[in-house]
Amino acid sequence: MTLLLHLADFNERRWADGFAAALPGMRVVTRADAYDPDEIDYIFIWKPASDAFAGLNRLKAILSLGAGVDALLRNPSRPAGVPIVRFMDEDLTQRMSDYIVANVSMHQRLATRFKRDQAARRWSQLYPAPAWDTTVGIMGLGKLGLDAIARLQALSYRLRGWSRSDKQIEGVEVFVGQVAFDDFLSGTDILVNLLPLTAETQGILNYDTFSRLRRDGVDGWGPVIVNAGRGGHQREADIVRALEDGTLKAASLDVFEVEPLPQTSPLWEMDNVFITPHIAAASSERTGVAYFSRVIRDFEAGLPLPNVVDQQRGY
């Protein structure tokens, strides 16, 4: 058996050494090594090149380092019918929830307002609303969304969720489908995006969406967005416009339409934007190797693959 690593932005050799130690008897190769494409059984991949799957005619599974698989589904060389396994474990989920909780709490405590006061050396005692007077709307109620909800519930935030299919979540008002989208937005103070990127969700974070968020909150408050989903969910020109004219008070962005975020982007200059370089749920080498080594061992032993992508739905 042979495992091929195709990892943009990562040290492929270090990951290969980890897999080789975890999978004795399996050959592990990187793109820099000599190998016969017909010998590749599995490919472990992140940010695939357009020809990433060329000649890989006997693949058993595609193993995605990321939870999002939109780039894989669009790849022109991807062989039809080969299952795609997403990376989804407790470590990744915890990291995402850490990011969501930190940014929601920061905005609930009016961090942008006090950041500006500090820059102006202005002492102005505006008291933020408590968590139980703040409504957080989560778009996407998969494993990541549900874990974020559980963490935010423990802090007493009011919570609502929006998804494609109905979910029953204790203490959470759930809105389903496009027909309920406006109602979902109209009661949301902090909008958190954890949706998969599909044709239906492309560009969903746009000016029209922002204009429908609740804007009758307490003094100093206003709609906020937190995007830890995919860059394709947002229209950055609309975010800039909304932040400039007050339609949005603030934003936390971990993903972007083009990555790295171009130096010319006006987002860099805005003091009501918090930018992180796509690290909200950065995949750990240790846990990634452990997770996918177990996936391969179990599958070779006849067990089913976990977290298989529905390629029709896109997640």
Region 112-124: mean pLDDT is 96
Whether 53 and 114 share a structural domain: no
Average pLDDT taken over every residue of the chain:
95
Whether 123 and 190 share a structural domain: yes
Whether 33 and 9 share a structural domain: yes
What is the CATH number for 213? 3.40.50.720
pLDDT at res. 13: 95
pLDDT band at 278 (very low <50, low <70, confident <90, very high): very high
In terms of Cα–Cα distance, which of 1, 6, 60 is closest to 31?
6
pLDDT digits (tens, 9 = 90+) for 195-236: 999 999 999 999 999 999 998 755 557 899 999 999 999 999
pLDDT band at 86 (very low <50, low <70, confident <90, very high): very high
- What total number of domains does the chain contain? 2
Sign of the dihedral defined by the CA atoms of residues 147, 98, 261, 227, in that order: positive
pLDDT at res. 218: 54
Region 68-96: mean pLDDT is 94
**pLDDT at residue 161 above 80?**
yes
In a domain, 310, yes or no: no
Catalytic residues: 230, 278
Rounded Cα distance between 195 and 175, Å, is 14
User: Helix, strand, or coil here: 174?
Assistant: strand
**pLDDT at residue 122 above 70?**
yes
Sign of the dihedral defined by the CA atoms of residues 57, 78, 307, 168, in that order: negative
Whether 169 and 241 share a structural domain: yes
Whether 154 and 241 share a structural domain: yes
pLDDT band at 173 (very low <50, low <70, confident <90, very high): very high
Q: Report the number of secondary-structure helices (H) and strands (E) in the chain.
A: 9, 12
Whether 235 and 249 share a structural domain: yes
pLDDT digits (tens, 9 = 90+) for 1-10: 999 999 988 8
Task: Cis check for the bond before 260: say yes or no (omega within 30 of 0).
Answer: yes
pLDDT at res. 9: 82
pLDDT digits (tens, 9 = 90+) for 292-314: 999 999 999 999 999 999 998 88
pLDDT band at 68 (very low <50, low <70, confident <90, very high): confident
Region 38-67: mean pLDDT is 95
Q: For the chain, report the end-to-end CA distance as a whole number of angstroms.
A: 28
Whether 148 and 106 share a structural domain: yes
Question: What residues pair up with 65 in beta bridges, in sequence order?
Answer: none
Whether 137 and 223 share a structural domain: yes
Whether 118 and 255 share a structural domain: yes
Whether 94 and 230 share a structural domain: yes
**pLDDT at residue 260 above 70?**
yes
Q: Which amino acid is present at 56? A: L
Question: Which of these ranges, 94-98, 121-125, 279-283, has the smallest mean pLDDT?
Answer: 279-283
Count the Cβ atoms, other than its own, within 10 Å of residue 81. 7
Per the structure, the complete domain to which residue 288 belongs is given by 2-87+283-300
What is the token pair recorded at 10? 């990562």
In a domain, 305, yes or no: no
**pLDDT at residue 23 above 80?**
yes
pLDDT at res. 284: 83
